[in-house]
Amino acid sequence: MTNALSRLLADRDWLLADGATGTNLFNMGLSSGDAPELWNVDEPAKIRALYRGAVEAGSDLFLTNTFGGNASRLKLHDAQGRVRELNRVGAELAREVADAAGRPVVVAGSVGPTGDIMEPMGSLTYDAAVEMFHEQAEGLKEGGVDVLWVETISAPEEFKAAAEAFRRAGMPWCGTMSFDTAGRTMMGVTSSDMVDLVAKLDHQPLAFGANCGVGASDLLRTVLGFSARGTETPLISKGNAGIPKYHDGHIHYDGTPELMADYACLARDCGATIIGGCCGTTPEHLKAMRAALESRPRGERPTLETIAAALGGFSSASDGTGEDAANAPARPRRRRRS
């Protein structure tokens, strides 16, 4: 069965995804602490403008403003009863903008983490997570998204729960994890672990990869890790526009459009097919990325040194893959009970 994304993937050897949602909404006046998803209903003109920003900058695919649209996150704003509505409306606005683009643009329904820690460390059960993601998925499906897109996940169980929920919704999907702790996710997953995790899923994604995390350099090291492990599934690279810096009471990301253009081409050379930005990535950045991907030739797979030279150094010496994994120090163990 084909869908808008699988058709684009069949025709093209790279696709430009979108940039930041949060950063751009804050620039439009969203206050910290408010739920961006409420704007789907309260400020539809601004959400359309957000979507149009990505489409007009040349994105082939963009995410809906529904990242925190699960019951657990919306509960913090006492809006847990509005999951279906907020996701449906966020998707409908996106559909409208995509259909008016005059070229194929994929609407991907964003699904972020629940924010809860899963059993046995935390209280969230697998079944409850599946149910929560499924509720959100149905809202997005109803609003007309082409694919579902789970992102910024750190726990393997949560990623699996999303895949299962999307199977129940009968929807194609993509998924990314966030590798922000010395090249691993907060829960310790390495890039090669994720390849293995994805390979075992019953409901296979159209593409998978990494988003957010630390800077653009770290993200590309993760993409190199995916391709080194070996996978036929297209890879996604959505990195932040540099690192947040503090200046006179406000924050800005230090990644310029030029840097993100270099990042986009390097991401393609690393083996990524769907390339976009994350926090701090504005339409300006996306335009530069599109122009570079169209005009510059493909290069060889870059080394870590090439990446560091172009985009800056890495946040940690190792990312827990390859030889590093084999050499990991182990604590001498005493006897233990079974």
Partner 1 sequence: MSEEEDDIILSELPDDELVQQMFDDLYDGLKEEIEEGVNILLERGWEPYRILTEALVGGMTIVGNDFRDGILFVPEVLLAANAMKGGMAILKPLLAETGAPRVGKMVIGTVKGDIHDIGKNLVSMMMEGAGFEVVDLGINNAVESYLEALETEGPDILGMSALLTTTMPYMKVVIDTLVEKGLRDDYIVLVGGAPLNEEFGKAIGADAYCRDAAVAVETAKEFMARKHNQMAAG
- The site for partner 1 (CB under 8 A) is made up of 22-23, 26, 31-33, 76, 115, 117, 120-122, 154-155, 180-182, 184, 186-188, 243-246, 249-251, 253, 279-280, 316, 318, 320, 328-331, 333-338
User: In whole angstroms, how close is the CB of 116 to partner 1 at the nearest point?
Assistant: 9
Cα dihedral angle (16, 21, 27, 31), rounded to 10 degrees? 180
The residues with which 240 forms a beta bridge, in sequence order, are none
Residue 250, helix vs strand vs coil: strand
- Residue closest to 178 by CA, chosen among 245, 240, 262: 240
The Cα 285–Cα 279 span in angstroms is 11
- By beta-carbon proximity to partner 1, the closer residue of 277 and 320 is 320
User: In whole angstroms, how close is the CB of 23 to partner 1 at the nearest point?
Assistant: 8
What is the CB neighbour count within 10 angstroms for residue 34?
Answer: 14
- By beta-carbon proximity to partner 1, the closer residue of 76 and 100 is 76
Q: By the 8 A CB rule, do 142 and 171 touch? A: no
User: In whole angstroms, how close is the CB of 96 to partner 1 at the nearest point?
Assistant: 28
- By beta-carbon proximity to partner 1, the closer residue of 15 and 25 is 25
What is the CB neighbour count within 10 angstroms for residue 317?
Answer: 9
- By beta-carbon proximity to partner 1, the closer residue of 103 and 247 is 247
- By beta-carbon proximity to partner 1, the closer residue of 243 and 310 is 243
User: Is 270 annotated as a binding-site member?
Assistant: no
User: Is 278 annotated as a binding-site member?
Assistant: yes
What does the DSSP 8-state code read for residue 182?
Answer: T
User: In whole angstroms, how close is the CB of 245 to partner 1 at the nearest point?
Assistant: 8
- By beta-carbon proximity to partner 1, the closer residue of 103 and 336 is 336
User: In whole angstroms, how close is the CB of 26 to partner 1 at the nearest point?
Assistant: 5
User: In whole angstroms, how close is the CB of 117 to partner 1 at the nearest point?
Assistant: 7
The Cα 301–Cα 227 span in angstroms is 10
User: Is 279 annotated as a binding-site member?
Assistant: yes
- By beta-carbon proximity to partner 1, the closer residue of 187 and 220 is 187
- By beta-carbon proximity to partner 1, the closer residue of 40 and 185 is 185
Give the start-end residues of each E strand in the chain.
Answer: 15-16, 61-63, 106-111, 147-153, 173-177, 207-212, 235-239, 244-247, 250-253, 272-277
Ramachandran angles phi, psi of 25, nearest 5°: -70, -40
CA contacts within 13 A on the Cβ side of 140: 34
User: In whole angstroms, how close is the CB of 337 to partner 1 at the nearest point?
Assistant: 5
User: In whole angstroms, how close is the CB of 43 to partner 1 at the nearest point?
Assistant: 17
What is the CB neighbour count within 10 angstroms for residue 267?
Answer: 30
Residues in contact with 56: Cβ distance below 8 Å, sequence separation at least 6, in sequence order: 283
The Cα 219–Cα 225 span in angstroms is 10
The binding site for Zn(2+) comprises 212, 278-279
The binding site comprises 212, 278-279
